[in-house]
Amino acid sequence: MTDEAPLRENSSLPGFLGTIDNGIARIEAVILAMGVLLMAVNTVANVVGRFLFGESLHFSEEVNRILIIMITFAGIGYAARHGRHIRMSALYDVFPTQVRRVMMVIISMVTAAVMFFLCWYAVSYITSVYHTGRVLPTLGFPIYLIYLWVPVGLAVTGIQYLMTAIKNIVSKDVYLSTSVLDGYDDEETEI
């Protein structure tokens, strides 16, 4: 496994699933890049305003809160796509490839089910927040709209794990995600 990702990544899934995977990957990349850039610009503008003009941007904290939620929940799908979620693999690594592949299918299916359940729960929470009518104090933006990123991110992550399970069902190798092959580099790293 390597930390270096290809500059242009295409899904290794066949047909329609590959198209969905590529589309989600592009949308995630845009959301994450724009979110981080907007957060940086917002923070720098707030600091410049405070120190040069003696006035902070009164909406800066709320905008950053929205962006943090957006980046976090877009990022969980991105991490799943690149096989970057934390995993406890001491027992898993002992087994032969066939057993690890079956385990990865089960792990991916269970994780997808948990993500879809959390997505459903997040939608019910957002519905309850909607009925309260709460808004952000400075922007006057309805709070439930901010939380829409939560079920979207959880659903995308669930889809990603479901596609990982499918990839492991149709492949002879073991995949951590649709494009990341399970394994370790043989290179030693000096500390």
Q: What is the mean pLDDT of residues 12-39?
A: 87
Q: What is the pLDDT of residues 119-159, one digit of tens each?
A: 999 999 999 999 999 999 999 999 999 999 999 999 999 99
Average pLDDT over every residue of 105-131? 97
Q: Residue 57: name the closest of 39, 76, 72, 42 by CA.
A: 42
The predicted model gives 156-178 an average pLDDT of 91
Whether residue 147 contacts residue 130, with contact meaning beta carbons closer than 8 Å, is answered with no
| Average per-residue pLDDT for the chain | 87
For residue 179, being part of any structural domain is answered with no
User: Mind listing the pLDDT tens digit for each residue in 58-84?
Assistant: 899 999 999 999 999 999 989 988 888
The residue type of 8 is R
Q: Is residue 190 part of a domain?
A: no
Domain for residue 181, yes or no? no
pLDDT at residue 7 greater than cutoff 80: no
- Per-residue confidence at 188, pLDDT binned at 50, 70, 90? low
Domain total of the chain: 1
Q: pLDDT tier at 14 (50, 70, 90 boundaries)?
A: low
Structure token digits, residue 63: 């905008």
Which tokens in the block code for residue 84? 């970057």
In a domain, 188, yes or no: no
Q: 151, 119 in Cβ contact below 8 A?
A: yes
Instruction: Report if residue 160 sits inside a domain.
Output: yes
Q: Let me know if residue 20 belongs to a domain.
A: yes
> Does residue 78 form part of some domain?
yes
pLDDT at 2 over 50: no
Q: Which carries the bigger pLDDT value, residue 98 or residue 11?
A: 98
97 vs 122: which has the higher pLDDT = 122
Question: What residue numbers bound the domain in which 117 lies?
Answer: 15-170
pLDDT of residue 160: 92
- Does the structure show a pLDDT above 80 at 9? no
- Label residue 26 left, alpha or beta by phi (over 0 means left) and psi (-120 to 50 means alpha): alpha
Q: What is the pLDDT of residue 185?
A: 57
State yes or no: pLDDT of 165 exceeds 90.
yes
Residue 112 lies in a domain: yes
